[in-house]
């Protein structure tokens, strides 16, 4: 007898957090995950720029080749035998090319495979029309550039669900939101409709938790020393229910650790306002979601709330913005950090003189970092008299030839200037295209979406949505009054977990109190002014703060924080991965009784 919808469980394995994730993921999940679906997320904003560059060199490229050549090649026969269905956005900016490559692989293994291709996200051909209409970057307000390498709308889960309903065994999409590869199967399996907003929000949260692979099973956890067996890390499996709730776990016998704290960190990862997390299918509210440990390596995540989506797709586009070269040298000995900085300054000065002499324009921008001297920490650096560093010097220029001169003049520092200058080898640094991302909004009604299966193209109607994208009134923030007792200074890491990431030039830092009753204290101490002041050497914009009572946490959103972010940024941490780690070192005044509970 078929189980009722309340008893049915759909098991989904998340096999990829980015293009380049481990080759062990798919075999591990297929062999030991007992899964119904295997999903892959490949398309970070930086990845889209890489794919655009690849397609410029070879028109048949533009998709995540690892999906076919490594992941599917290793498990295709077993997937077919078990009846596991696959959903992936590996199509990038050439989903038909990705599907053709997979179909060819299946043929060589004697496997009949029904592959659906979701199309409609590519709007590059419409850019002249959109530019003429006055479309502009949604963050900077700048007009769209005259030429683009790629322009792709973030599609949702509706066409994925439709392709599965038509009998697809594999669904390959181009650009879609990361969580859609999970939400699509859940919409199909449980019959969720476009107006089931709470269910769509919950399914999107399920996808958000597993879209970064091992980040849901112990990866990037604040208490990293408690996470065992990194070499055999388990990839996430979610057990999803028709009411939108789900359990996060991993295959038996694998490394890693599924904990409520780590899953809470991941829920906050790379979101803005948790009361208005905007996706094509739904506007999500995660503020009252509950996360609880229900067993070893088993964490239950409660349902989210949702509202109607906005009428717009976000379009992520890329343009060629000149060229970049980043070179490095190692310096050893007394005052290595000061020697490194002077070396980098001399390289820039010398090559600037050469460019001037040859009638070439100056560098668009340059950047110096001394790795090993806590450059990113700025005024909070604790290093003094560092004796072993790596100098990193970066330059941007409109002309490749100018940066080839720059690349040539880095190595001579090894015999010309500071004693103790050396290099681990590798020759001259490469000159690469500088691909700049930008984003704008496009009315959903203007974009026809369809999928192709077995040579037949089916249009997919998409509900445009009439939401305004704004959060409902925020929950009341907790009040805190210091008790009548001495105060002691603790680091934030003694009181909270934290994880950070990026969205373009925005950085977010999720803070989860180690004990629920400590959130009011943290809210009173970690004010936007304090955080902005702490990061004033990196963050140029405002700091926003959001309260999540369901997970005794808060989310900090730092504007203009990443030097442009992604491929535009010249920093060694362009994605803000280290921002939480830096903030965890900040010192806060706490009552003596709390310090004792924290074990300090």
Cα–Cα distance measured from residue 12 to residue 86, given in angstroms and rounded to the nearest whole number: 10
- Cα-based distances in Å from 339 to 142, 343, 422: 40, 6, 12
> Which 3-state string (H, E, C) describes 72-97?
HHHHHHHHHHHCCEEEECCCCCCHHH
Q: What is the DSSP secondary structure assignment for residue 198, as one 8-state letter?
A: H
- Cα-based distances in Å from 280 to 31, 200, 545: 33, 11, 24
CB count within 10 Å of CB 398 equals 15
pLDDT computed for residue 427 by the predictor? 85
Cα–Cα distance measured from residue 451 to residue 460, given in angstroms and rounded to the nearest whole number: 7
Beta bridge partners of 390: 330, 371
Sign of CA dihedral 421, 424, 425, 431: negative
Residues near 487 by beta carbon (within 8 Å), at least 6 away in sequence:
589, 590, 591, 592
> How far is C-alpha 1 from the chain's CA centre?
42
Q: Count Cα neighbours of 115 within 13 Å in the Cβ-side half-sphere.
A: 27
Burial zone of 46 (CB within 10 Å; 0-12 exposed, 13-18 middle, 19+ buried): buried
Phi and psi at residue 305, in whole multiples of 5°?
A: -110, 150
Q: What is the mean pLDDT of each run of 10 residues along the chain (600 residues)?
A: 70 94 97 97 80 79 94 97 98 94 97 97 92 90 87 96 98 97 98 98 98 97 98 98 98 98 98 97 98 98 97 92 96 96 98 98 97 94 92 98 98 96 89 90 96 97 94 92 95 98 94 97 98 97 97 98 92 96 98 93
Q: Which tokens go with 216? A: 């849901």
Among 313, 310, 316, 311, which residue's Cα sits nearest to residue 276? Answer: 310
pLDDT computed for residue 259 by the predictor? 98
Cα–Cα distance measured from residue 287 to residue 277, given in angstroms and rounded to the nearest whole number: 10
Cβ-contact 523, 287 below 8 angstroms: no
Q: Which tokens go with 378? A: 């700025």
pLDDT computed for residue 2 by the predictor? 47
Among 484, 550, 545, which residue's Cα sits nearest to residue 513? Answer: 550
CB count within 10 Å of CB 253 equals 10
Percent helix, strand and coil across the chain, each rounded to 5? 30, 25, 40
Residues near 254 by beta carbon (within 8 Å), at least 6 away in sequence:
28, 32, 229, 232, 233, 234, 235
Cβ-contact 84, 40 below 8 angstroms: no
The position carrying tokens 């939480």 is 580
Q: What is the DSSP secondary structure assignment for residue 20, as one 8-state letter?
A: T
The position carrying tokens 């949505």 is 465
Phi and psi at residue 511, in whole multiples of 5°?
A: -120, 125
Among 316, 317, 318, 319, which residue's Cα sits nearest to residue 280? Answer: 316
Q: Count Cα neighbours of 539 within 13 Å in the Cβ-side half-sphere.
A: 25
Cβ-contact 298, 11 below 8 angstroms: no
């Amino acid at each position: 007898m078929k189980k009722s919808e309340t008893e049915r469980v759909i098991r989904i394995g998340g096999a990829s957090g980015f293009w380049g994730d481990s080759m062990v993921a798919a075999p591990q999940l297929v062999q030991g995950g007992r899964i119904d679906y295997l999903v892959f997320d490949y398309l970070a904003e930086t990845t889209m720029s890489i794919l655009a560059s690849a397609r410029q060199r070879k028109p048949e490229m533009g998709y995540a080749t690892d999906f076919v050549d490594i992941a599917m090649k290793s498990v295709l026969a077993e997937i077919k035998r078990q009846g596991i269905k696959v959903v992936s956005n590996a199509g990038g900016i050439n989903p038909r090319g990705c599907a053709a490559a997979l179909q060819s692989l299946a043929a060589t293994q004697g496997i009949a495979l029904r592959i659906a291709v979701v199309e409609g996200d590519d709007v590059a051909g419409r850019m002249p029309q959109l530019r003429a209409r006055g479309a502009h970057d949604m963050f900077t307000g700048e007009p769209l550039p005259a030429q683009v390498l790629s322009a792709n709308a973030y599609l949702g889960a509706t066409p994925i669900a439709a392709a599965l309903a038509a009998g697809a065994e594999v669904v390959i999409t181009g650009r879609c939101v990361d969580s859609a590869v999970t939400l699509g199967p859940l919409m199909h399996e449980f019959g969720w409709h476009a107006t089931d907003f709470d269910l769509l929000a919950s399914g999107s949260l399920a996808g958000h938790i597993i879209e970064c692979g091992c980040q849901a099973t112990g990866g990037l956890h604040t208490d990293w020393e408690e996470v065992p067996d990194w070499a055999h890390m388990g990839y996430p499996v979610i057990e999803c229910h028709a009411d939108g709730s789900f359990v996060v776990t991993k295959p038996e016998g694998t490394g890693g650790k599924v904990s409520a704290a780590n899953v809470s960190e991941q829920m906050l990862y790379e979101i803005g306002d948790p009361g208005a997390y905007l996706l094509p299918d739904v506007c999500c509210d995660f503020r009252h979601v509950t996360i609880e440990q229900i067993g070893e390596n088993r964490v239950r995540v409660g349902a989210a709330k949702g509202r109607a989506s906005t009428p717009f797709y976000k379009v992520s586009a890329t343009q060629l913005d000149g060229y970049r070269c980043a070179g490095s040298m190692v310096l050893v000995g007394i005052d290595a950090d000061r020697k490194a900085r002077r070396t980098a300054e001399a390289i820039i000065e010398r090559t600037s003189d050469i460019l001037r002499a040859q009638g070439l324009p100056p560098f668009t921008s340059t950047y110096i970092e001394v790795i090993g001297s806590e450059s990113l920490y700025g005024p909070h650096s604790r290093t003094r008299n560092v004796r072993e560093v790596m100098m990193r010097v970066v330059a941007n220029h409109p002309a490749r030839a100018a940066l080839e001169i720059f690349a040539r003049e880095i190595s001579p520092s090894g015999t010309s200037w500071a004693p103790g200058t050396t290099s681990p080898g590798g020759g001259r640094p490469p000159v690469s295209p500088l691909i700049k991302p930008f984003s704008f909004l496009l009315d959903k009604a203007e974009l026809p979406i369809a999928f192709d299966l077995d040579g037949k193209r089916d249009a997919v109607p998409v509900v445009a949505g009439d939401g305004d994208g704004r959060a409902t009134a925020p929950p009341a923030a907790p009040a805190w009054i210091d008790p009548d007792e001495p105060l002691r200074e603790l680091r934030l890491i003694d009181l909270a977990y934290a994880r950070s990431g990026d969205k373009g030039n925005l950085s977010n830092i999720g803070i989860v109190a180690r004990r629920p009753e400590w959130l009011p204290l943290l809210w009173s101490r970690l004010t936007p002014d304090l955080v902005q002041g702490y990061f004033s050497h990196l963050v140029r914009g405002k700091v926003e703060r959001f309260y999540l009572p369901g997970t005794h946490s808060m989310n900090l959103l730092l504007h203009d924080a990443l030097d442009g972010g992604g491929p535009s940024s010249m920093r060694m941490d362009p994605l803000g991965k280290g921002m939480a780690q830096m903030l965890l070192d900040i010192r806060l005044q706490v009552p003596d009784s709390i310090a004792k509970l924290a074990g300090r």
